[in-house]
Amino acid sequence: MKIDYDSEADVLSFILSNDPPVDSIEETGGVIISYNRDGKPVTVEFLNASQHNILNKDGLSITFKTESMAVA
């Protein structure tokens, strides 16, 4: 994964794959998710990123939540 921030546009991008996007949807709050031809997400962009409480004066703050998986 690659993370890119454009301070002039105030856009934070998470590049999940190098696959070219073929479709995208805009979620509420200015979040754009782009998908490859297999329907898997390739980028997640936060428009007006400074308003999403992801960026602050100390830098980038990210929390990833994962589901627990039971192993049989």
Q: Give the pLDDT confidence of 18-50 residue by residue, as tens digits.
A: 999 999 999 988 999 999 999 999 999 999 988
Q: Does the residue 22 lie in any domain?
A: yes
Q: Does the residue 66 lie in any domain?
A: no
Q: Does the residue 67 lie in any domain?
A: no
Residue 72: predicted pLDDT? 47
Q: Does the residue 70 lie in any domain?
A: no
Q: Are strands 11-15 and 31-35 parallel, antiparallel or unpaired?
A: unpaired
Tokens of 27: 């979620």
Q: Does the residue 12 lie in any domain?
A: yes
Closest CA to 49 of 18, 17, 14: 14
Identify the band that residue 55 occupies on the pLDDT scale cut at 50, 70 and 90: low
Helix and strand numbers, DSSP H then E, in the chain: 0, 7
Q: Alpha-carbon distance 45 to 26, whole Å? A: 9
Q: How far is CA 56 from CA 3, 26, 68, in A?
A: 16, 24, 30
Statement: residue 70 has pLDDT above 70: no
Question: Which domain covers residue 27, as residue numbers?
Answer: 2-59
Q: Does the residue 36 lie in any domain?
A: yes
Domain count, the chain: 1
